[in-house]
Chain A
Amino acid sequence: MTKAITKEALTGLVAELTAAGVRVIAPAKAADGGTDYRAIFTLADAILGGEMPRRSLRAVFQPPTEAVFGWERKGTGIELTPAAAASQPQVVLGARPCDAAGVNVLDKVMGWDYKDDMWFARREATTIISLACAEMAPTCFCDKIGLSADATVGADVLLRPAGEGYTAEALTAKGEAFVSGHARWFSDEPVTADPAPPSREAFPLDKIEEWLEGHFEDALWADLGLRCLGCGACTSICPTCHCFDIVDETDGTAAGTRRRNWDTCQTGLFTVHTSGHNPRADQASRCRQRILHKFEIYPKRFEAVLCTGCGRCVQACPAGVIVPEILDSIAQRANGGAA
């Protein structure tokens, strides 16, 4: 179902949603002047189609820190209070297609051997309205990862710029319910979307996966391990990185909170065993881990690469470690080239 919506109608829609207690999250100005996904109150606060939000959409579904449960000593026992499920209905407006795709990729691991309640409570309460990109930044490579500037993966509704307004395509049952539930803002008048930027040829991801499988030891990792500072900036802005640490923080001696916090495979402590042994003792093995997890381990298990080509890691890396460059050189090696 494809409809159209004008900017004025979108303004009205946002006002209607917020008045009804729905949280609307959109790319908006952060305190430092950059763009982040934030709660907005009127459409004027949103920056639709501007610069890439600095942080990915992941934080909306898995915040940097969140309480899992509280505990309190009661006599000889311990009482647990589960954290309240996040059930406030929310709408993400103007999600990047790469970010919507990232959330979709993460559903696979979050619902794998154990269904992550906190993740899915937020997922179920959220409608994602993504906005096709009018242009690609020099660091973007979603097309080379098999997506595109107007990819629909993970979105409930996809908006495409169309002159002064947008076309609105409902992609899922949730998306259709959203559009029909707010039908008065959408029109049936035929509107043509502006052309999306063309896609380049994708990386040979199958070949890359195959090469990775056979090259656990390779000079490539040693090279990466030199340049990489192990700061984890790449993983903390990535829409598909999802590792977390579990900590217990106490309030006095009788009560406390168990929290889960973002963690990163790029630091040494991540894999230290209680024995003191660290299977990823140096930076080269940590860099390898990041690439293997994204392009071999995850695809094997979940049939999707753990990267949407958003290019945030390229922008964030203080040392010039560049994922598309790494994929290019692996592709060349896989094709028998020297790289």
Chain B
Amino acid sequence: MKELQELSRSLLADGQVNVVIGWEQGPTGARPVFVTKPEDADRLIFDQRCVHNLAAYLSPRRPNVGKLGKAAIVAKPCDAKAVAGLIRESQIKREDVVVIGVRCGGVLADPASKEALSAETVSERCPGCESREPTLADHVLGDMPPPPPGERRRDARIDELEAMPPAERWAFWQAEFERCVRCNACRQVCPLCTCDRCVTEKTQPLWIESSAHSRGVFAWQLTRAQHHAGRCADCGECDRVCPVDIPLGLLNREVARIVERRFGFEMTDDPAAAEPIGAFRMEDEQEFIR
């Protein structure tokens, strides 16, 4: 923590950056903070409650943050994947951001939790995560932690879903989607939802009905999932924000697994690696084109 505060202080004092986007202790738990003065660098923290993917604040969709000037961002290995995604998709330039990588051994599901990190309290995305430190980083801080506790619960759940007869799987998602209120919070928090105008908001012609009836919800959820194929950083923010607790992580992860199987691509924090959705390869299977 001292390391993080010292580094941020000097980055701000030397004028290398105008703002450090990191985490602070808020009234109910860890939360994002924007430190613009060297003397405020002591507010910065990093521990297992720092759940948020701060890359969302680098997106051009957040001009308020952009106006502060050049930013340094504190990033866990998975957050760095989202930063890489933004660079890869030309939303930001590598030289315009200083990445302060932090070594990570998993975070809690809830940034307000006071519990210790355990198989029960850990965030869904962490068990099985093999990245202990980001490669996309200008600085890397912290000691090398042990891997996150727990088993890959979500993959086990997806295996179960994949094994279900289609009608049963359909019924599962129907029951989940029934609660969707079409608030679009899952889109708003996503660091990689960067469209100026989302397709679900186009009304002439109307592509996706905005109502929370089953037609509207299915059209929306399937579109959202597909638009994230090979792009999702698996940060779990969409899942965490959903006010009706729809397990969007299951969908995201399923799509990521399909992309992995079909295109051999795994989301990475290397901004130069081509995403399948934006790359054409002759060797891609094309059996569906007849």
B201 at interface, CB cutoff 8 A:
yes
Residues from chain A with a CB closer than 8 A to the CB of B246 are 32
5 A–B contacts, CB within 8 A, in A order: A226-B68, A229-B188, A232-B184, A269-B201, A322-B28
Interface-forming stretch among A20-28, A115-123, A181-189, A257-265? A257-265
Determine whether the beta carbon of A222 is less than 8 Å from that of B64: yes
Q: C-beta contact mask, A104-146 vs B, less than 8 Å → 1, else 0?
A: 0000000000000000000000000000000000110000000
Interface residues on B, range: 35 or more
Determine whether the beta carbon of A320 is less than 8 Å from that of B245: no
Our pick among B27, B33, B213 for the contact of A322 (Cβ within 8 Å) is B27
B183 at interface, CB cutoff 8 A:
yes
B70 at interface, CB cutoff 8 A:
no
Q: C-beta contact mask, A220-237 vs B, less than 8 Å → 1, else 0?
A: 001001110111110111
Complex CA gap A282/B33 in Å reads 18
Q: How many A-B residue pairs have CB under 8 A?
A: 124
Residues from chain A with a CB closer than 8 A to the CB of B62 are 229, 283
Interface-forming stretch among A8-16, A81-89, A161-169, A311-319? A311-319
The residue of chain A having its C-beta at the shortest distance from the C-beta of B65 within the complex is A226
The residue of chain B having its C-beta at the shortest distance from the C-beta of A247 within the complex is B210
Residues from chain A with a CB closer than 8 A to the CB of B43 are none
Determine whether the beta carbon of A226 is less than 8 Å from that of B26: no
Q: How many residues of A contact B (CB 8 A)?
A: 46
Q: C-beta contact mask, B99-131 vs A, less than 8 Å → 1, else 0?
A: 000000000000100000000000000000000
Determine whether the beta carbon of B241 is less than 8 Å from that of A318: yes
Determine whether the beta carbon of A54 is less than 8 Å from that of B244: yes
Complex CA gap A318/B57 in Å reads 13
Our pick among B65, B189, B209 for the contact of A249 (Cβ within 8 Å) is B209
B212 at interface, CB cutoff 8 A:
yes
Residues from chain A with a CB closer than 8 A to the CB of B247 are 32
A42 at interface, CB cutoff 8 A:
no
CB A70 to nearest CB in B, in angstroms, measures 13
The residue of chain B having its C-beta at the shortest distance from the C-beta of A264 within the complex is B183
CB A325 to nearest CB in B, in angstroms, measures 5
Residues from chain B with a CB closer than 8 A to the CB of A235 are 183
The residue of chain A having its C-beta at the shortest distance from the C-beta of B191 within the complex is A229
CB B235 to nearest CB in A, in angstroms, measures 11
CB A217 to nearest CB in B, in angstroms, measures 15
Our pick among A32, A226, A231 for the contact of B34 (Cβ within 8 Å) is A226
Determine whether the beta carbon of B32 is less than 8 Å from that of A261: no
Our pick among A64, A314, A320 for the contact of B32 (Cβ within 8 Å) is A320
Our pick among B30, B176, B184 for the contact of A267 (Cβ within 8 Å) is B184
Complex CA gap A264/B185 in Å reads 10
